[in-house]
Chains A and B, each alone.
Chain A
Amino acid sequence: MSTGSHFAPARIRSVSDVACDVRMIELEPERAVRDYPTGAHLDIAVVVDELPDIRSYSLVGQRPQQGAYRIAVKDVPDSRGGSRFVRALATGAEVEISEPQSHFELQYGRPEYLLIAGGIGITPMVGMAQALQRHGRPFRLLYAGRTRDQMPFVSELSELLGGRLELFVSAEGLRLEIEAEIKRLEPDGELYVCGPLRLRDAVQAAWRAQERRQDRLQFETFASGGRFAPEEFVVRVCDRDGHEVTVRRNRTMLDALRDDGVEMMWDCLRGECGLCAARVIEFDGELDHRDVFLSAEQRAEGTTIMTCVSRAVGGSIAIDTGFRGPAG
């Protein structure tokens, strides 16, 4: 993982609730703010269960605002505790933050753009929409959410974008027809999607079905949920004499294994790199794959699981972590 950026102190300049369960936080770094590319995020050093950890948040808006970076944090009940830490920060509090960096940068020069945001996935899209609007590029922003009061930035965006913003509020009966929307996009157009796993999976499937170029679909890994709500499960480690480890609802399988002394390899912790894979020997219930490493076919086979993000649901799972050596 790229952790090259160094952390430096920042002060909370303001906090404000911008939607139900969504808080916007302005961070004023000790060193000067700098312009950042579209799709950029910040890493914030947090403390979860008394342990240091890092959480990443997309920057809201195309540019820093009067010397501060803006992030928006959603309160998620099944969180591992990062959002709770950040949301508890009050004006004047100090945190350590990284320099902004982007893995989700807007590529200019395409004939048309489609931006799709689901829920809090709107955060990186605000800056992208501002940039495209400013440069007069053809684009549309499709913004889906459960209820209107849970969707931040709607009025600002609609003022800026007019008809280019389309809202799909499921509580109001408006469904996003992903296949049809993709069909409307220029053949060489580009799609950026950020949102829950279900949305991303649906977009990917539709994109493939229409045989569009893979590199024209950009998504931000956003392991904020799977097909199932997380629940506690037991994992049996076959190559450690069948040692059993309980994975609590708010822990990852990787963390639970490591806490119990099972040596694992990992890197990205986002379900991207594939290094924390474990071989699935058997399972009852369902595997909730939340990674982007396995193909749809591999997921269906059910023989490999990415322990950093994916979970078992409704049963237990037996895995092989590849340890070959004396027990203990």
Chain B
Amino acid sequence: MANGNGRPSSDISQVPETFKLTDWPRNCWYAAAYDVELKQELLARTIGGCSLVMYRRSDGQPAALENACWHRLMPLSEGHLEGDDVACGYHGLVYNHEGRCTFMPSQKTINPAARVRAFPTVERHRFVWVWTGDPALADPDLVPDLHWNDDAQWAGDGKLIHLDCGYKLVVDNLLDLTHETFVHGASIGQRSIAEVPFEVTHGPRSATVSRWMVDVEAPPFWSMQLEWKRGEPTERVDRWQIINFEAPSTVAIDVGVAPTGTGAPEGDRSQGVNGYVLNTITPETDRSCHYFWAFVRNYRLDDQRITTLIRDGVSGVFGEDEVVLGAQQRGIDDHPDKQFYNLNIDGGAMWARRLIDRMMVDEADDERYHRSADESKPEEQTVTRVEATKADAERLGIT
């Protein structure tokens, strides 16, 4: 181990310098809208760097097109729907949901090359998902598992927040809940989160951070819910947080409390209340993202009052994260020469970032991806990204 007088070994090829990467994989589903957001009207939104116009067809199916008319690049979102087709608001060109042009003004024929890119979509778990990568790979079975959001055993609701920070900062935030102690002290935070040990495990596409706080006082958010279920206050509880990350940016957190001594750590949660914090984050640009979340619970499923109270309560909690994450991104931007230091608490986030990096490396090595990228005439940005990913792959020693 000895190395003369200095700090020992750090190894160029081993340094996981991933915190500077602000890009994202493309061959995956990203949530693009909450189900209730998407109507039979045009919605403009940038998903993974792609400017999209989205809408529902008359049969309810979602559609997503490149938001620039083939003719003069006018945003199609400035136009209007004609049945299931989109009419450009400038010269009236019309495109169907597959992006084929169906009308051109003042001519009898239609230029066969006239089309805008259509993106694969799928609606699942109350979200409309869009695939911005190679369409040949867009398998609906690859939609991240957020089934609790659309399951009769669970009730709840959520919201979409636009955040002025890179999406990985949100992944970091959700993979390390010690921040609750310091950011959310009034609602869900408590000292023991930052004190009790936690366990990090990892698999090929997932990482898990588990933390049990046994025999603690329930913080306000949870004492309230336990009382709603049990009808009486509870002094001491066992509290759990089991964070499940699915690459690249979905985090389902199994959370809850049960009265101490009723066997929750051993597996019997029947006396407690259980919730899932469902999160999926969609990159918008290098420095902004769409954060879709929901909170669902497993008790008093038909009580709409509880659904609304919790949704608004969690909304307030996430407002605190919004402030922190925006400030953190500004801190990063203001110090371009600096890098993150990592603590033990960042283990889950480090695994998450490694899995994200691996997805990017894998798709950069996928010939089909290159072919698809060539066909769709990638903007310069895309080319740069692929090169960066290869270099990172070498540095990370991933082959």
Chain A residues at the B interface, C-beta cutoff of 8 Å: 1-4, 41, 43, 45, 51-58, 71-76, 78-80, 82-83, 86-87, 120-121, 123, 220-226, 230, 252, 258, 263, 265-270, 273-275, 277, 290, 293, 309, 311, 322-326
Beta-carbon contact of A322 and B200 below 8 Å: yes
Partner of A55, one of B9, B16, B208: B9
Q: How far is the CA of A117 from the CA of B346 in the complex (A)?
A: 33
Taken together as a complex, chains A and B put the C-alpha atoms of A317 and B199 apart, in Å, by 20
Partner of B10 from the list A54, A120, A324 (CB cut-off 8 Å) is A54
Pick from A76, A80, A226, A293: contact of B9, CB below 8 A.
A80
Q: A267-B16, A267-B350 are in contact. Are A76 and B341 (CB under 8 A)?
A: no
**Cα of A223 to Cα of B2 in the assembled complex, Å:** 7
- Residues in A with CB closer than 8 Å to B206 are 325
User: In whole angstroms, what is the CA distance A324 to B5 when docked?
Assistant: 39
B204 at the interface (CB under 8 A from A): yes
Secondary structure of the A side of the interface?
loop
Does B339 have its Cβ within 8 Å of any Cβ on chain A?
A: yes
Complex CA gap A80/B3 in Å reads 7
Task: Write the nearest CB–CB distance from A4 to chain B, whole angstroms.
Answer: 5
From known contacts A72-B5, A225-B2, A270-B8, infer whether A52 and B342 are also in contact, taking CB-CB under 8 Å: no
Chain B minimum-CB-distance residue to A78: B2
Q: How many residues of B contact A (CB 8 A)?
A: 37
- Residue of A41, A76, A225, A275 with highest tally of chain B CB at under 10 A: A275
CB-defined A-B contacts under 8 Å, sample of 19: A1-B339, A2-B338, A51-B11, A54-B11, A56-B6, A56-B7, A74-B5, A80-B3, A82-B8, A83-B3, A121-B5, A221-B7, A252-B1, A265-B16, A265-B350, A269-B10, A277-B344, A293-B344, A323-B203
Partner among B9, B201, B339 whose Cβ is within 8 Å of the Cβ of A54: B9
Establish whether residues B200 and A79, one from each chain, have CB atoms under 8 Å apart when the complex forms: no
Residue of B nearest to A274 (CB): B344
In the docked arrangement, what's the CA distance between A1 and B17, Å? 8
A80, A273, A322: the one within 8 Å of B342 (CB)? A273
A52 to B6, CA, bound (A): 17
Please state if B4 and A55 are interface contacts (CB–CB under 8 Å): yes
What's the Cα separation between A101 and B229 when bound, in Å?
57
> Are B6 and A55 within 8 A (Cβ)?
yes
A266 CB to closest chain B CB (Å) equals 7
Does B201 lie within 8 Å of A322, measured CB to CB?
A: yes
Q: A324-B203, A324-B208 are in contact. Are A224 and B337 (CB under 8 A)?
A: no
Which residue of B1, B204, B343, B350 contacts A223 across the interface (Cβ within 8 Å)?
A: B1
Which residues of A have CB within 8 Å of B354?
265
B283: Cβ under 8 A from any A Cβ:
no
- Are B1 and A52 within 8 A (Cβ)? no
Asked whether B119 is an interface residue with its Cβ less than 8 Å from the other chain, the reply is no
Please indicate which of the listed interface residues B4, B203, B338, B347 has the most CB atoms of chain A within 10 Å of its own CB: B4
